[in-house]
Structure 1
Amino acid sequence: MKTLKKLTLALTLTASLAFTAFIPNVDAATQHTVKSGDTLWKIASQYGITFNQLKTTNKLSSNTIYPGQRFTIPNTTGITAAEKDLMARLVHAEAKGEPYAGKVAVATVILNRIDSPDFPNTLSGVVHEKVNGYYAFTPVQNGEINKPADAEAKRAVNEALAFRGQGSGSLFFFNPKTAKSDWIFSRQVTVTIGNHRFAK
């Protein structure tokens, strides 16, 4: 009887381990199959990683790639897919109608705030931060952030992630025609793109 119990336990454990092996690992790196027209730079930008991270992860010694090749895309940003979506929705709402470069710059402001000791250190914390009882970003206050992001906003987020840490260190952006705060006009302007001034 003891032998039968041991055999049953062993079979149950083996079946359990076999079943677990087929459960996909949600933290596994993304895979990308090269399509005609792809370049390493395009692939890196698409996933929000740097060109060098893509090459290093896949042990590439050349920049030449071929359709059908499979590359591992590492998550080196620390930003989850849900956080990318939140960021893209904010970019879409804040920079609708602005040039593409302005959308990348808005995404960069969000990342710069995460990296700054003067702001929350998480994406959600930055997006939902309140100042004097109001959300720091108008689309969070008025609910526009709940609308889906378009493809250009998503691409802008990935580009900002790929070049994270570069740029002029902008922490703020505003429209000088509609801004009402004297304080924001006192900030050092880093660049003007479209209707937005970016500042630190």
Structure 2
Amino acid sequence: MFRRIFITLAVVCCMVVAFTSPSEGHAAITYTYYKVQKGDSLYLIAKKYKTTVAKLKAINHKRNDMVIVGEKLKVPQVQAVKSATKKSVTAEERKLMAQLVHAETGYSEPFAGKVEVALVILNRVKHPSFPKTIKGVIYQKTKSGYAFVPVKTGKLTKIQPTKQDCAAVDRAVVLHPNDKRGSLYFYNPKITKNKWILSRPVTIRIGNHVFAK
């Protein structure tokens, strides 16, 4: 009787190992390696890859927060921020996008609205009718001056974006490769009288803004 139970448990344990091993192998492909640079710390590396110091220590089997220049650390690959052009969004571009997001949405629009404004910028970079860079899109000149009012008024570079604005930009960059709406324009229907923009196909309405393409 006991021998039969023991054999059954042994078989179950083998099955568990057989089924869990592939999943562990699958999880491993979501990580890459980062080479520690001068001035780095676990905190800064964790912030860059949208993770925590505790998680970095765990996956790298570290007992303390010390890092050594040249050391290779395992980091979450899926959190690396990439743009539609498959190039990393630079710190300058990120700040510029966040400034425009804040200028256009302020403190009144919801987070989803901020993300969609950032997506408009990224969608324009990808679209053949607009400049091919983030800076080029934001500073694009038109017959009336510039494509975005905050640039036209000269207030854009004076704006200090909030953490929420920066987070919205980061979220948009992650979402952009799979964005199905393809918003290229946005406007406030209570203010805009332009017949052309009002005739564009609406993609989504968020807060006080209507997004279109």
Does TM-score exceed 0.5, indicating one fold? Answer: yes
Aligned residue type for 2:82: T
Q: Is the 8 A contact 2:118 2:172 kept in 1?
A: yes
Q: Is the 8 A contact 2:109 2:208 kept in 1?
A: yes
Structure 1 residues 131, 156: closer, same or farther in 2, change over 3 A?
same
| Corresponding position of 1:162 | 174
* 1:91 is aligned to 2:91: no
Say whether the 8 Å CA contact 2:81–2:174 is kept in structure 1: no
CA distance in 1, matches of 2:38, 2:96: 25
Match of 2:203 among 178, 190, 193: 190
Question: 2:138 aligned with 1:124, yes or no?
Answer: no
For structure 1, the residue ranges without an aligned partner over 5 or more in a row are 1-22, 35-39, 47-64
CA drift of 1:66 comes to 3.1
1:42-121 counterparts in 2 under 5 A? 43=50, 66=55, 68-69=57-58, 71=75, 74=80, 76-77=82-83, 78=87, 79-96=89-106, 97-121=108-132
Task: Tell whether the 8 Å contact from 2:187 to 2:209 is kept in structure 1 after alignment.
Answer: yes
Q: Output the aligned Cα RMSD.
A: 2.7
Secondary structure, counterpart of 1:176 in structure 2: coil
TM-score, normalization: structure 2? 0.63
Q: Is 1:31 aligned to residue 37 of structure 2?
A: no
- Identify the residue that residue 153 of structure 2 maps to in structure 1: 142
State how far apart, in whole Å, the 2-side matches of 1:186 and 1:172 are.
Answer: 11
- CA deviation vs aligned residue, 1:51-83 (integer Å, no higher than 9, x gap): xxxxxxxxxxxxxx8362452664633221111
* Cα separation, 2, equivalents of 1:141 and 1:169: 25
The residue aligned with 1:56 is none
Q: Which amino acid aligns with 1:159?
A: R
Query: Given residue 118 of structure 2, which amino acid in structure 1 is its aligned partner?
Result: A
Q: Aligned residues: percent identity?
A: 41
- Greater Cα radius of gyration, structure 1 or 2: 2
Q: Which amino acid counterpart does residue 152 of structure 1 have in structure 2?
A: Q
Q: State the distance in 1 between where 2:148 and 2:47 align.
A: 37
The Cα offsets for residues 146-200 of structure 1, whole Å up to 9 and x where unpaired, read as 2111111000000000111313000000000111211000100000000000000
State the 1:113 CA deviation: 0.2
Question: Aligned with 2:180: secondary structure?
Answer: coil
Consecutive unaligned residues of structure 2, counting only runs of 5 or more, are 1-36, 59-72
Query: 1:88 deviation in Å?
Result: 0.4
Secondary structure at 2:169 match in 1: helix
Cα distance between partner residues in 2 of 1:197 and 1:100: 15
Shift of 1:131: 1.2
Report if the CA contact (8 A) 2:126-2:132 is conserved.
yes
Relative CO higher for 1 or 2, CA cutoff 8 Å, sep ≥ 6? 1
